[in-house]
Structure 1
Amino acid sequence: MKKILITGANGQLGQAILEQSKNYKEIECFFVTRNELDITNEDLVKNYFQDKTFDFVVNCAAYTAVDKAEDHPDDAFLVNAKATEFLAKATNEHNIPFIHISTDYVFDGKDSKPRIETDETNPIGVYGQTKLDGEKLASENNFRTIIIRTAWVYSRFGNNFVKTMLKLFKERDSLGVVNDQIGSPTNAINLADAILTIVMKDESIFGIYNYSNEGECSWFDFANKIKEFSGLSVQINPVDSAAFPTKAKRPAYSLLDKTKIKTVYEVDVPNWEDSLKEEMKHIEY
């Protein structure tokens, strides 16, 4: 039986891992919220591991308020970078492999080709920079680190684009959605399965991996599929990002190449449309 600690238990991914872990009889998961373990406190993190044994630690905790991070860079850095460093140091001290979740925002989105793990990073905002800082601190402080970059995460849990669209579809006759940002949605349930698949392997190959669902789309395409699968009636209009100015810039093209994770860990990567259709069966609207 493998014992796994998951931070960020209340987040989308934390809840998705809780849901999917029921299907993995050889894994025992322990979930902590910030109230149970404040990972921004180095002493608390260090002491937490003194009398506990884990086979993996998965860090799902993150400061994900992209626009808010522009005004509160210190808060974003504390959660996304320093807390990651504290976890990496503590897990390294006890020889525990460390899985850290990162983001497509470490890239600037200027190249219109799927990004591979070795592509040059160039964040264009505070959120992306602090997540990149977290990646570096994780790898520097625990060589047994696996970093998983993901994008456009949604699920039946928490707040996300799918739930926002479903709410707006019922409130409005029409709405505009940007069509000049390209990527691929990620069902948190699929990402949770990918993580648990990695944990189950007898041998770990450490390093950086990409994971999102297969295929590509714009937010406009994404919204139209949500509309199609929901059966709701609403007019969706394509608009440029300039029509929705935000404090933080978004990568224009953030498609991630999943070849490495599929090859090394034999992880299943469903098509984004199929996965969306399945997940919407679990979302009330």
Structure 2
Amino acid sequence: MKILVTGRDGQVGYELQRSLQGLGEIVAVNAEAMDLADFDAIRAVMREVRPALVVNPAAYTAVDKAESEPEIAMRINGEAPGIIAEEARKLGAAVIHYSTDYVFDGHKDGAYTEDDVPMPLNVYGRTKLAGEQAVQASGAPHLILRTSWVYGQRGRNFLLTVRRLAAEREELRIVDDQYGAPTWCRTIADTTAHIVAKLGAGKQGAGIDLDLWQSKSGLYHLTAQGRTTWHGFAQAIVAHWSCERKPAVVPIGTKDYPTPARRPANSVLSCRKLTETFCGLPKWDDALSLCLD
């Protein structure tokens, strides 16, 4: 089975190349090889590679910058996934696409389920929701995996920012009234690989079982279990850091740290559907310890 992975240099894309080993022939591309803003390039790569499965973690992820670049964010996050999925349908292939907790407005008291109506607060969330809808409308067998607060040991993310600032400052002021689930990029990649292994290849081994993939198609939430705030996340990072001098981690409110893009106060996602269908997920602090170790 040939598996096309986009965004190979990103956090999730990098990990997917390791996690998917042994499940098929992996063709991993970066933005130079397949620019998601160039729809002709997407079609050309899809038709040349002819994958049985496309795993698409590539995205425009600059949440605040998207407020001033809505057109390019929508092209990459909202329209490109639909092009990928349309080409996949023509090839008889399936698509795994990643989305975000930021499709919700954060007004719900409990964890969001897949049945809750999305109401994004920012451009990034609106573009990612458009991408979900484009994949759903394509007719291709698909899994849309919503995740949250992604971090890892490479790229740009909250974990690396906190570690950098902790080495420079005596005090870190971190928002303590936004709740979510920090999710290690390796957890996302390993869970994806488990799903692919469970659904398996096609009867002839080179493609996929379209009926099986179609029967499991839909939205799933994929995050670490439990919840915390950005402040709690930062505290856990600093506590694990082996150094003589650790900065104080001071809680502040969202109003004390204004950003161009509004964030939901609660973006905790219920992963019950994914757990019952495919597999369970680790607690956020356990996964963080594994990452930092």
Shared fold (TM-score, shorter chain, > 0.5): yes
Counterpart of 1:220 in structure 2 is 231
1:159, distance to aligned residue in structure 2 (A):
1.3
The letter for the 1-side match of 2:286 is D
1:210–1:260 CA contact under 8 A, matched in 2: yes
**Could you tell me how far apart the structure 2 residues matched to 1:195 and 1:14 are?**
11
2:37–2:76 CA contact under 8 A, matched in 1: yes
The letter for the 1-side match of 2:250 is N
1:39–1:87 CA contact under 8 A, matched in 2: no
Structure 1 vs Structure 2 CA RMSD? 1.2
Q: 1:107-148 CA distances to partner (integer Å, 9 max, x unpaired)?
A: 001112101011011001110000000100111013412100
- Percent identical residues: 35
1:248 is aligned to 2:261:
yes
Counterpart of 2:5 in structure 1 is 6
**Could you tell me how far apart the structure 2 residues matched to 1:173 and 1:50 are?**
54
1:98–1:142 CA contact under 8 A, matched in 2: no
Structure 1, gaps ≥5 residues long = none
**Could you tell me how far apart the structure 2 residues matched to 1:168 and 1:83 are?**
35
SS in structure 1 of the partner of residue 154 of structure 2: coil
Q: 1:170-199 CA distances to partner (integer Å, 9 max, x unpaired)?
A: 111111101000011000001001111111
2:86–2:140 CA contact under 8 A, matched in 1: no
Q: Report the TM-score, using the length of structure 1 for normalisation.
A: 0.94
Alignment of 1:57-206 (within 5 A): 57-200=54-197, 201-202=199-200, 203-204=212-213, 205-206=216-217
SS in structure 2 of the partner of residue 121 of structure 1: coil
Structure 2, gaps ≥5 residues long = 201-211
SS in structure 1 of the partner of residue 174 of structure 2: strand
Deviates more, 1:132-141 or 1:44-53: 44-53
Q: Report the TM-score, using the length of structure 2 for normalisation.
A: 0.91
Deviates more, 1:7-16 or 1:41-50: 41-50
Counterpart of 1:43 in structure 2 is 40
Q: 1:138-169 CA distances to partner (integer Å, 9 max, x unpaired)?
A: 11013412100000000112111111111111
1:210–1:261 CA contact under 8 A, matched in 2: yes
Counterpart of 1:55 in structure 2 is 52
SS in structure 1 of the partner of residue 25 of structure 2: strand
